[in-house]
Amino acid sequence: MSTRTRTTARRPLRTVLLALVTALVPLLAAVSLGAPPATAAVRAAVPTATLTEVTDFGTNPSSLRMYLYVPGSVTAHPAVVVAVHYCTGSGPDMYNATEWHQLADTYGFVVIYPSVTRASKCFDVSSPQALERGGGSDPVGIKSMIDWVTRTYAADTTKIFATGISSGAMMTNVLLGDYPDVFAAGAAFSGVPFGCFATTDGSEWNSACANGTITHTPQEWGDLVRAAYPGYTGPRPRMQLWHGTEDATLRYPDFGEEIKEWTDVLGVGQSPAATDTPASGWTRTRYGSTGDRAPVEAISLQGVGHNLYTYGMASRALTFFGLDSSGPAPQPPPGACRVSVTTNAWNTGLTASVTVTNTGTTTINGWQLAFTLPAGQTLTNGWGATYAPSTGAVTATNASYDGTIAPGASVSIGYQADHTGNSGAPAAFTLNGTVCTAG
């Protein structure tokens, strides 16, 4: 018995290798011919058109959670928007409170919603670790989320953007400072400059910054940003800033300090290249150029407090990012259209039901309905489309489920608005630039 056992154990090496090769050849063939690549398997595991939590996405020193929205119309190499929530919020809250996922349905980009797990539900924008590249706090986890999406969806690394509200706005400032080579632009709603909230005692709150009493020269602010990634000499991301003049949480002077900081970082003058009023009570200043993609754009909202974000503002950020023409684009209808409106008004509010009919002979694939609200009306809600801005000349862009209108077919959309006395319907409509008849 022992002799036979030793003889078996000492089979010639050539015989053993031949047996291994014979066994592996069909296995390797099955893998190469039949098994999907790893990225394809991951993509299949993330359902489209629904908010999904992704785990094990990479280095995550502060135990953030990652939520992802991938539209059914996701493009081959999609842009990525990181939408960062406010204090006490979460990734799902940010998903529900903003229209970024609806815009993704229209334009084909992917949205990441980071979510804090610490008790305050505020992002770390104050510790030394947060204010340096690879420092080991929240920005590192968010960068891992971006890397995961980039690998999984072959995302366009030149089209990575950040946006946030309050704590998320502060994190937007931090992300653009820590990772200038990652982000193309950011939009911060009610935030503070990079480094303004810095603390060294472990506290998450900096009262001096919150009260707007920390001031620096533009170069001093810029040096704080540049110190986050020493030696970096590449391009810097553009920045859009929003702030209300009556903000009692992060005081209005912080807005001016943000402007000083980012104009210095981007190397543009302190004097606006253009100033206008895109909506009632808004003052928009652009620095470095006059167009929609200026290096720095700042929007001041007169008489508005900390909770300034309203429906339609994301569309303006999308325009600043340059993403409102990167996905499926509406095409002009070859024929005519008809629009009918029914309104239901009460003391200071109204609802409007709008029916759009394709009276042409060719199917419409993707549409934008333009109209002007009567004076004193302000949109507060909408369905069946995304609406921007909330006053004046409004554009309603189709949702993912109603973008196709066959000849003779109709779609129904609607909106809710406040009014100051005039509860009438818009007087005229155009569909993809074509004037519609009233019906």
What is the β-pairing status of strands 337-345 and 437-438?
A: parallel
* CA–CA distances in Å: residue 354 to residues 102, 170, 242, 377, 427: 19, 39, 31, 16, 12
CA pair distance 109, 97, nearest whole angstrom: 18
**CB 300, CB 86: distance < 8 Å:** no
3-state secondary structure of 177: helix
Using CB atoms within 10 Å of the CB of residue 361, give its burial: 0 to 12 exposed, 13 to 18 middle, 19+ buried.
Answer: exposed
* CA–CA distances in Å: residue 273 to residues 1, 10, 153, 186, 242: 94, 84, 38, 20, 18
Active-site entry in 166, 167, 190, 315: 166
Q: Return the sign of the alpha-carbon dihedral for residues 296, 301, 305, 307.
A: negative
Would you state the structure tokens that stand for residue 139, as one six-digit string? 């920005």
CA pair distance 295, 185, nearest whole angstrom: 9
Closest CA to 432 of 334, 330, 340: 330
- DSSP codes, 233-291: -S---EEEEEEETT-SSS-THHHHHHHHHHHHHTT--SS-SEEE-SSTTEEEEEES-SS
**CB 262, CB 241: distance < 8 Å:** yes
**CB 212, CB 219: distance < 8 Å:** no
Residue where the block lists tokens 């029914």: 342
**CB 356, CB 413: distance < 8 Å:** yes
Tell me whether residue 166 is one of the annotated catalytic residues.
Answer: yes
> At residue 409, what are phi and psi to the nearest 5 degrees?
-90, 165
**CB 113, CB 68: distance < 8 Å:** yes
Return the active site residues.
166
